[in-house]
Amino acid sequence: MQNVILKVIDAHLTLYGHFNRHEVVEVTGVGIASVSRAIKLYDGQCTYIAERKRYEANKDFKPVFPKLEHMRYLRACTIVFEKE
């Protein structure tokens, strides 16, 4: 399941430049603790912005899954997010 969480985080950072924990919980169906553990693997790749209550990709962000077809993956998770 950790791999699924990481793919969702990676997809959000790549496509939208940000994500919040609740989006990942909603998509994956796992608990907040599991998502928090996965976020630690992105240390240095994204920063938590308290005012916006979300993580934002750093300028030097490099996807963990560079060949992931992000939109297909998110559709497979049966959720569509609007780009801000």
- Rounded to two decimals, what is the model's pTM? 0.77
Q: Which pLDDT tens digit goes with each residue over 23-76?
A: 999 988 999 999 999 999 999 999 999 999 999 999 999 888 776 666 666 666
Residue identified by tokens 């569509």 is 80
The one-letter code for the residue type at 54 is: R
Q: What is the structure's pLDDT at 21?
A: 94
**CB-facing half-sphere around the CA of 3: CA atoms within 13 A:** 3
Residue identified by tokens 């992000």 is 70
Residue ranges of domains in the chain, CATH in brackets: 1-81 (1.10.10)
